[in-house]
Structure 1
Amino acid sequence: MPNFKPDLSCQSAFIPVDFSEQIIPGTFEYALNHIVNHHLDLRPFDSLYSNEHKGAAAYSPAVMLKIILFAYAHGMISSLRIAKACQTNITLMALSGDTQPHFTSIANFVANMHTQIEPLFTQVLMICEQQQLIGHHMFAIDGCKISSNASKEHSGTHDELARKAIRLRRASQRILAHHIAQDVKGEELPAREAKHKQTLDDTAQRIEAFLDNDANHERLATNKKPIKSNITDNDSAKMLTNKGTIQGYNGVAISDDKHQIIVQAKAWGAVNEQQTLQPAIKQLQQQLSHIGKDDSLLQAKFSADSGFHSKDNLTYLAEQGIDSYIADTGFRSRNPLFQNSQTYHAYQTTKRRKRGYDKPKLFSRGDFHFNRQALMCVCLAGNVMWLTSRKPHTNNDQRYLTFHGYLKDCRTCPVQSQCMRNPPKERGRQVTFPALGKPTKAASLIQIMKDKMDSKQGRREYSKRLGCIEPVFANITKQKKMDYFTLRGQTKVNAQWLMFCLVHNIEKLRGHVL
């Protein structure tokens, strides 16, 4: 029988640990420790404490910042996970000086730092500027949709929520009626049915309380349609992503192209992405002013995707004198590289099929015979269409001439299935043509931007946007696993989004602090 040494893995041992040796230069934790200890002004946190003369000693804001930002950088966003890591993670123990705050202390610190986080973000940005990590050659804006601490099942317009509350009350009554019908009126409901009934009643009561609160007024979108509210977090919104619909916020950020430093960040809820551009640029101008680069935006280029394209945004950028490159929805289709790409067309076909747009293509405006001199239009069946007005009407700052098919002609048309999706009931086919004449100011700006984007320089400059902003979101949500918000309300969620961005910027500084 061989003679082996005994297995002593079950035996406890005291191992000496030098905390100073756990924080190695060149790492994220070293940069975080150095920046918090030597560069950040943490005096604004003093207003959160009132224990100068009585009360227990509080955890230092410097220690709490190190704990939270290090935990975020390693995908630990839950306060419970962070508190447990303070007891088991040797690097976190070294950063915090072996303090072990309770998870409620961590959650309370995160929830109440919304007024202090913006100055900290600016201070770190100033360090990035001192280390020459910001190039000021191009800025790119984009949004990242992140799930929030809210249930999308509790979303809907006020009418939808009211109907849902009624359905829940009826379901609760059916449980009670079924129990009575079993001739057991004198007995109590079984525990399982009683729990189900209580859940239905509680949910209905929450919805009714939400609707009765005057502060939760129904908001309207730009098209005057009601926006879906949420009884858990009314500032959040239902958002469509490539992985389905989520209830969350859109984390908008502006990044510099030299080292992908985030220079501006803010989280938005139930707001169209187009509406975030102007506030983001105003905040960017303030940040650049803080770091001593007031005219940087006027000298740099600014790019954004089609989600930010609108006449109001183009007008604002033109008035501010910003050299912008904003793609429109038809930018890819006009690109010769994509027109002949089978991969692109296959992707578009799959995308339309997923959205339910796989119906056969109908006759377009180019298929109709339009005589501009005579102001006459003839359809493909040879029927003359009537002009609604000789004076062009304006739609989206473009002037159009509109023709209608006669109802009697469209009802008996042999190519009706190729021309209209549904059989005509009140009117025939409608088709519009651009009118001649001087375009409006907004229409001119839209056409100028299209021509600018279709030029060789425009395509070259816009192609830099991908490497400027997309790696930022990939690092935050995929590499660092900061892909959900634990707080509720736009103010607190915005503070947490700034902390996510702060982690990204500090990581960029890890090789530049000594």
Structure 2
Amino acid sequence: MTNFILTDRKTDYLLPPSLEDWLSEDHLARFVVEVVDQLDISTPTRQYAGRGSKAYHPATLLAILVYDYATGVFSSRKLERATYDSVAFRYISAGSHPDHDTLATFRRRFLGELEALFVQVLALAQEMKLLKLGTVCLDGTKMHANASRHSALSHGHIEKLEVQLKAEVQELLALAEKADQADVPDGVSLPEEIKRREDRLAVMADAKRKIATRAQERYEREKAEYDEKMTQRAVKEKDSGKKSNRKPPKPPEAGPKDSDQINLTDEESRIMPTAGGGFEQAYNAQAGVDAATMLVIATQVTQATNDKEQVEPMLAILAAQSQSLGEVTCLIADTGFCSEKNIRACEKAGLEPLIAVARDAHHPHWRERHSEPASLPDNASPTDKMRHRLKTKAGRALYALRKQTVEPVFGIIKSVMGFRQFSLRGLQKVRGEWQLVCLAWNVKRMAKLRPECG
């Protein structure tokens, strides 16, 4: 007689198995279903025409998407397979099996509805007493686009290729006009070769037009900034009665530069420097994270390679959400967000800015960490006031929250949830997908916070 547990796969169940018995009570899949069931999804539900065969309910498809992003399954084909193979997905789909086309179409079709659902999830967190807004930490991270940087063409390279391809087309046309084509290699179709090059020339001409449009937009933006700087310079010289000794700003140049690029796969993505060195085809994903709970409060995706201009858009999002979520009192960000304009924008919005003015030394003297700065004069500028606040013990302790909130959120999203590259293309779709990622993170985080706060 052996002392083993008997494995019997042949005997049928006396009663049908229940979905409720498949997962533990505290399983994330159960919590996802509970959250989605409490959301108002009447808007996407009304968009179904009701014709043809019955459709899967939007609540079921949304729950599948939220759980898949929370657990690192992003492919619609893998999702379809998971509804057969995974106990958690079988529980969420209640034994149904939406195919990959249904899941992919639902994701693309209803990305625009995620903004309202994102806020609803945060409102639900408040009802559960998991969220009380106060201090928000802002940061950005480069997220790979669904395109290779090797699919990008620069304006200078396009012009060189155009010369080469036009010469090849003329050579092939000349060969095609000859009665004797003995010097044409075997298997070469001249019409196909000519058409292939003409198609490439058309694509490159279109790319050049788009690069020129971007260059004109950049010139108009830089010209407005240049004119503002020159106006401020003239006002200062008039007030002081002296000519400024500083070098005047360089006027912008019109037209595209040789280095201006466009990606043929996702033209709205940009080549950006990455933290580990080098460059990648990417988007700049922004997140405002609540310091107390690590819940993402606001999201944004931009094509800008740096974070200098991202404070005001984030303030606008926080202001729009204030009626349903409450007011934010303090905004913390690193030196990449620092500018006089951003500091004034925070004060105008009624937030206390704590934006690092410069990088701190890694090993400051111990007296600096245990001393308070000298008092400020009454006429100190907003930047001086903020710099003084960052040198106080309370300011240093508050700013230290940034490293333990927003940076870990990005790390978990990339390394634990496995989201390192967008699946969709185009700025608007990418913004919707990033909001879906952060919504999934919030649900995952709420499931963790619930027992702690219960």
- TM-score when normalising by structure 2: 0.76
Report the counterpart of residue 68 of structure 1 in structure 2: 65
AA paired with 1:496?
E
Given that 1:162 and 1:208 are in contact with CA atoms closer than 8 Å, whether structure 2 keeps it comes out as no
Report the counterpart of residue 444 of structure 2 in structure 1: 507
Q: For the aligned residues, what is the CA RMSD?
A: 3.9
Q: Secondary structure at the match of 1:141?
A: strand
Counterpart pick for 1:237 among 270, 284, 309:
270
AA paired with 2:290?
D
AA paired with 1:143?
G
| Alpha carbons of structure 1 residues 161 and 44: separation in structure 2 relative to 1, 3 Å | farther
| Alpha carbons of structure 1 residues 86 and 164: separation in structure 2 relative to 1, 3 Å | farther
Q: Secondary structure at the match of 1:247?
A: strand
Q: Which has the larger radius of gyration?
A: 1
Counterpart pick for 2:354 among 325, 347, 361:
325
| Alpha carbons of structure 1 residues 506 and 178: separation in structure 2 relative to 1, 3 Å | farther
Report the counterpart of residue 429 of structure 1 in structure 2: none
Q: Following TM superposition, by how much is the alpha carbon of 1:456 offset from its aligned partner in structure 2, in angstroms?
A: 3.0
Aligned counterparts of 1:77 and 1:321: Cα–Cα separation in 2: 39
2:306 corresponds to 1:289: no
Given that 1:331 and 1:454 are in contact with CA atoms closer than 8 Å, whether structure 2 keeps it comes out as no
Q: Secondary structure at the match of 1:332?
A: coil
Report the counterpart of residue 409 of structure 1 in structure 2: none
Given that 2:211 and 2:262 are in contact with CA atoms closer than 8 Å, whether structure 1 keeps it comes out as no
Given that 1:135 and 1:257 are in contact with CA atoms closer than 8 Å, whether structure 2 keeps it comes out as no
Aligned counterparts of 1:273 and 1:164: Cα–Cα separation in 2: 34
AA paired with 1:285?
A
Report the counterpart of residue 220 of structure 1 in structure 2: 218
| Alpha carbons of structure 1 residues 162 and 75: separation in structure 2 relative to 1, 3 Å | farther
AA paired with 1:18?
S
| Alpha carbons of structure 1 residues 446 and 101: separation in structure 2 relative to 1, 3 Å | same
Aligned counterparts of 1:481 and 1:168: Cα–Cα separation in 2: 42
2:125 corresponds to 1:188: no
Q: Secondary structure at the match of 2:267?
A: coil
AA paired with 1:41?
D
Aligned counterparts of 1:216 and 1:79: Cα–Cα separation in 2: 35
Given that 1:477 and 1:483 are in contact with CA atoms closer than 8 Å, whether structure 2 keeps it comes out as yes
Aligned counterparts of 2:193 and 2:439: Cα–Cα separation in 1: 44
Report the counterpart of residue 345 of structure 2 in structure 1: 316
Counterpart pick for 1:497 among 434, 451, 454:
434
Report the counterpart of residue 381 of structure 1 in structure 2: none
Aligned counterparts of 1:23 and 1:196: Cα–Cα separation in 2: 60
Aligned counterparts of 2:64 and 2:185: Cα–Cα separation in 1: 58
Counterpart pick for 1:307 among 336, 340, 343:
336
Q: Secondary structure at the match of 2:309?
A: helix
| Alpha carbons of structure 1 residues 96 and 208: separation in structure 2 relative to 1, 3 Å | same
AA paired with 1:494?
R
Q: Following TM superposition, by how much is the alpha carbon of 1:117 offset from its aligned partner in structure 2, in angstroms?
A: 0.5
| Alpha carbons of structure 1 residues 101 and 215: separation in structure 2 relative to 1, 3 Å | farther
2:364 corresponds to 1:336: yes
AA paired with 1:302?
L
Aligned counterparts of 1:196 and 1:100: Cα–Cα separation in 2: 46
AA paired with 2:296?
I
Q: Following TM superposition, by how much is the alpha carbon of 1:337 offset from its aligned partner in structure 2, in angstroms?
A: 4.7
2:280 corresponds to 1:246: yes
AA paired with 2:20?
S
| Alpha carbons of structure 1 residues 209 and 26: separation in structure 2 relative to 1, 3 Å | same
Aligned counterparts of 2:366 and 2:167: Cα–Cα separation in 1: 55
Given that 1:235 and 1:270 are in contact with CA atoms closer than 8 Å, whether structure 2 keeps it comes out as no
1:153-196 per-position Cα deviation (integer Å, ceiling 9, x unaligned): 23355454444454566678899999999954273229xx9999
Q: Secondary structure at the match of 2:292?
A: coil
Q: Secondary structure at the match of 2:425?
A: coil
Given that 1:133 and 1:259 are in contact with CA atoms closer than 8 Å, whether structure 2 keeps it comes out as yes
Report the counterpart of residue 409 of structure 2 in structure 1: 472
Report the counterpart of residue 275 of structure 1 in structure 2: 309
Aligned counterparts of 1:47 and 1:307: Cα–Cα separation in 2: 43
2:118 corresponds to 1:121: yes
Given that 2:162 and 2:201 are in contact with CA atoms closer than 8 Å, whether structure 1 keeps it comes out as yes
Identity within the alignment, %: 24
Q: Following TM superposition, by how much is the alpha carbon of 1:473 offset from its aligned partner in structure 2, in angstroms?
A: 0.8
Q: Following TM superposition, by how much is the alpha carbon of 1:125 offset from its aligned partner in structure 2, in angstroms?
A: 0.3
Given that 1:87 and 1:100 are in contact with CA atoms closer than 8 Å, whether structure 2 keeps it comes out as yes
Aligned counterparts of 1:182 and 1:242: Cα–Cα separation in 2: 56
1:195-238 per-position Cα deviation (integer Å, ceiling 9, x unaligned): 99987765544333333569964442765576533232222111
Report the counterpart of residue 135 of structure 2 in structure 1: 138
Given that 1:147 and 1:246 are in contact with CA atoms closer than 8 Å, whether structure 2 keeps it comes out as yes
Higher relative contact order (CA 8 A, sep 6+): 2
Report the counterpart of residue 461 of structure 1 in structure 2: 398
Aligned counterparts of 1:259 and 1:497: Cα–Cα separation in 2: 20
1:446-500 per-position Cα deviation (integer Å, ceiling 9, x unaligned): 3333333233332222111111211111121111001111111111111110110
Q: Secondary structure at the match of 1:99?
A: coil
Q: Following TM superposition, by how much is the alpha carbon of 1:105 offset from its aligned partner in structure 2, in angstroms?
A: 1.5
Report the counterpart of residue 22 of structure 2 in structure 1: 22
Give the structure with the larger helix fraction.
2
Report the counterpart of residue 289 of structure 2 in structure 1: 255
Aligned counterparts of 2:279 and 2:308: Cα–Cα separation in 1: 20
| Alpha carbons of structure 1 residues 259 and 444: separation in structure 2 relative to 1, 3 Å | same
Report the counterpart of residue 45 of structure 2 in structure 1: 46
Aligned counterparts of 2:367 and 2:207: Cα–Cα separation in 1: 51
1:290-313 per-position Cα deviation (integer Å, ceiling 9, x unaligned): 13x2xx32xx32210011111211
| Alpha carbons of structure 1 residues 169 and 338: separation in structure 2 relative to 1, 3 Å | farther
Given that 2:29 and 2:91 are in contact with CA atoms closer than 8 Å, whether structure 1 keeps it comes out as no
1:423-457 per-position Cα deviation (integer Å, ceiling 9, x unaligned): xxxxxxxxxxxxxxxxxx9x943333333323333
Aligned residues: 396
